[in-house]
Amino acid sequence: MTLEDLVRLRRARDTMDRDYAEPLDVTALARGAHMSPGHFSRSFRAAFGETPYSYLMTRRVERAKALLRRGDLSVTEVCFAVGCTSLGSFSSRFTELVGESPSAYRAGPHDDSAVMPACVAKIHTRPVRNRPADDARS
């Protein structure tokens, strides 16, 4: 992989970080990186350790956790606010990454993270795939 490829992949990842709530797809991201969708997906995974779709969904779940902690939006409203179009898919992915359903997460206590600076909270609340369920609410 060339340095130019890495720069393009980083720009695509930055787009996902910034525009996570927008309707993004691998084809459009690949076009922006001047790569075919297949090459883009393989290169993204090689560079960042997960597929573009997986990265995007992790980012959306991360933002959903923050919205659910506030408690003023329903799970459905949060689903659409973070750019998901299917409540079922959103709930499944959220449960997979966090270890509990969005409703259970919303109902749980969140006082510790409320007083944490945002930069610290981001480190500790980022969803991590394959974390043990009893360890998932850190």
Residue 104: CATH number of its domain: 1.10.10
Mean pLDDT over the full length of the chain = 87
Shared domain for 58 and 99, answered yes or no, is yes
Shared domain for 61 and 77, answered yes or no, is yes
pLDDT of 5-60, one tens digit each? 999 999 999 999 999 999 998 999 999 999 999 999 999 999 999 999 999 999 99
Task: Give the 3-state secondary structure of the chain.
Answer: CCHHHHHHHHHHHHHHHHCCCCCCCHHHHHHHCCCCHHHHHHHHHHHHCCCHHHHHHHHHHHHHHHHHHHCCCCHHHHHHHCCCCCHHHHHHHHHHHHCCCHHHHHHCCCHHHHCCCHHHHHHHHCCCCCCCHHHCCC
pLDDT at 115 over 50: no
Shared domain for 61 and 86, answered yes or no, is yes
Residue span of the structural domain in which 60 resides: 54-135
The structure's pTM equals: 0.76
Shared domain for 63 and 127, answered yes or no, is yes
pLDDT of 73-93, one tens digit each? 999 999 999 999 999 999 999
